[in-house]
Structure 1
């Protein structure tokens, strides 16, 4: 005769007051920041959009005036020049910073001697502000105080290096300063990702006779694509909001040859007293961010779905 074993059931114990309080504390701490961020993002963005369709000048005016500010904006040569400069700077800055950063990360991944010191040196520029970066490179590139003056003092009187004073080349001075500032950051991000790659994949490639260059190109770099996308997004937002670097380096000159949309917005809002046009320019910058970010996020989502399906 078999005996029936009864397993006692245990009702979950109610959470103690201390446990409930420990769950509420993080929410209470983060709530003010979340509310302030929500107000900053949604309320002020909507207010800015409405200002762009008014006739506001020095002070806000809330009578609807249509899209006149947007029409006048694209007739302004300073704005169109700024948009072109941003496109040129953004492409060169993002691509070259990423290439230089990946190259440095691959070199550091070879376990070179003095790696910690070299990593600190390459990372140092990102630790200083864009203002300091711009001021430093303004000294270096200024013909009267920088590299040109130094070389001429050595005896080469005919040496010329007027990158920063030429309207056609001044934008490339901004690109050089930006790459110097960002490439160390890219190096650290990529190096951290490289150190996390499965070594078995690398060994398998070596057994198949692949060179290290092909292993990096075909195996390692495709593996760390999420980090590369993150780097691209961070550099993109750095490029779009470029203001203090250009202000310290070239002040938007010579003329308007290195003006940027962020500088145009600042000038319209605080110097020229044209709130509507400054708000319209800010709206276009927001639209540009959305247009650039959404395809990247969509691509990221598609790739993740495909990898999940394969697994």
Structure 2
């Protein structure tokens, strides 16, 4: 049988086989290998000495891991909420036809074109007390002005939030704005006829319709927080001390600098479980949303029959 005589969908399946195999081996195979290494005493090189959950127990004994994992939720919570809120306000402004709409879109979408390394370095310069905002304001005569967040262990994590929000809010604006553009224009015509205020329309009608869009945004932001590494390296290097450390940096440091593959693999497995938990929560929320919509659609039909 020649490949010419095969049906088109069979040819497509044969073409996809190498990609599927590479994905299975490269992605899922790497996950299984990492899981297996986390149960060994591997140091500089992987070994086959099985030690059970010892790497996980030692991992949770490290204060640095607790700090990095807590920072992930602190950074993630503030970053996700602020990005969604700011992106929503920008999207509504665009949807209402604000002046210089195209210019504002370009300004707020510009940070997306930059890597987190560039973003981190730029904000590190802005927040540097000797060359950045503090130095500039003090040069204007306000000698008592202080904005030295980078050297404060308790506040340094918020510098990452500032840079991350500046980088990510434009993408949220674009996604939410696309969702707003998909809303049927007849709804707005009907609201104008009925005299419904725009604020009420957004709060009661439009935004509930965009719940799947918001769930997509939350998943994208959450996964970005879990794998955050380059922004930390560029801005703070995890310091002062390890006050701005995040799990991804913890893994890379133990993998290369500390030559502890087993401990790094255990941390990577916990990061993977965090991502899986986020995906499961997103899937459950989507199903509950669809179920509630179907229940609401069934009630009017039952009322009509009665």
Q: TM-score, normalised by structure 1?
A: 0.90
Match of 2:61, SS?
A: coil
In structure 2, what is the equivalent of residue 13 of structure 1?
Answer: none
Separation of aligned partners in 1, 2:145 and 2:32: 53
Bigger mean CA offset, 153-162 vs 132-141:
153-162
In structure 1, what is the equivalent of residue 227 of structure 2?
Answer: 241
Structure 2 CA distance for partners of 1:124 and 1:270, relative to 1, 3 Å: same
In structure 2, what is the equivalent of residue 217 of structure 1?
Answer: 203
* Cα deviation, residue 199, structure 1: 1.6
Q: Does 2:172 align with 1:194? A: no
Kept in 2: contact 1:166–1:254 (CA 8 A): yes
In structure 2, what is the equivalent of residue 11 of structure 1?
Answer: none
Q: TM-score, normalised by structure 2?
A: 0.91
Residue deviations 1:224-245 (CA, integer Å, cap 9, x gap) = 1111111111111111100000
Separation of aligned partners in 1, 2:19 and 2:125: 40
Separation of aligned partners in 1, 2:20 and 2:133: 48
In structure 2, what is the equivalent of residue 289 of structure 1?
Answer: 275
Residue deviations 1:26-75 (CA, integer Å, cap 9, x gap) = 44554333322222232111111111111111111112111110001011
Separation of aligned partners in 1, 2:6 and 2:206: 45
Alignment match of 2:21 (pick from 9, 14, 35): 35
In structure 2, what is the equivalent of residue 183 of structure 1?
Answer: 169
Structure 2 CA distance for partners of 1:30 and 1:140, relative to 1, 3 Å: farther
In structure 1, what is the equivalent of residue 303 of structure 2?
Answer: none
Kept in 2: contact 1:102–1:186 (CA 8 A): yes
Gaps of 5+ in 2: 299-306
- Bigger Rg over Cα: 1
Kept in 2: contact 1:266–1:278 (CA 8 A): yes
Q: CA RMSD in A?
A: 1.8
Q: Does 2:132 align with 1:154? A: no
- The residue correspondences of 1:47-58 to structure 2 (distance < 5 A) are 47-58=33-44
Q: Does 2:194 align with 1:208? A: yes
Bigger mean CA offset, 282-291 vs 168-177:
282-291
Separation of aligned partners in 1, 2:51 and 2:62: 19
Separation of aligned partners in 1, 2:293 and 2:46: 51
Separation of aligned partners in 1, 2:61 and 2:51: 18
Separation of aligned partners in 1, 2:100 and 2:43: 58
In structure 1, what is the equivalent of residue 76 of structure 2?
Answer: 90
Structure 2 CA distance for partners of 1:77 and 1:152, relative to 1, 3 Å: same
Kept in 1: contact 2:219–2:278 (CA 8 A): no
How many matched pairs?
295
In structure 2, what is the equivalent of residue 7 of structure 1?
Answer: none
Separation of aligned partners in 2, 1:68 and 1:29: 44
- The residue correspondences of 1:92-107 to structure 2 (distance < 5 A) are 92-107=78-93
Bigger mean CA offset, 105-114 vs 254-263:
105-114
Q: Does 2:234 align with 1:254? A: no
Residue deviations 1:182-225 (CA, integer Å, cap 9, x gap) = 00000000111101101222233333332111111111111111
Kept in 2: contact 1:202–1:219 (CA 8 A): no
Structure 2 CA distance for partners of 1:18 and 1:212, relative to 1, 3 Å: farther
- The residue correspondences of 1:31-180 to structure 2 (distance < 5 A) are 31-180=17-166
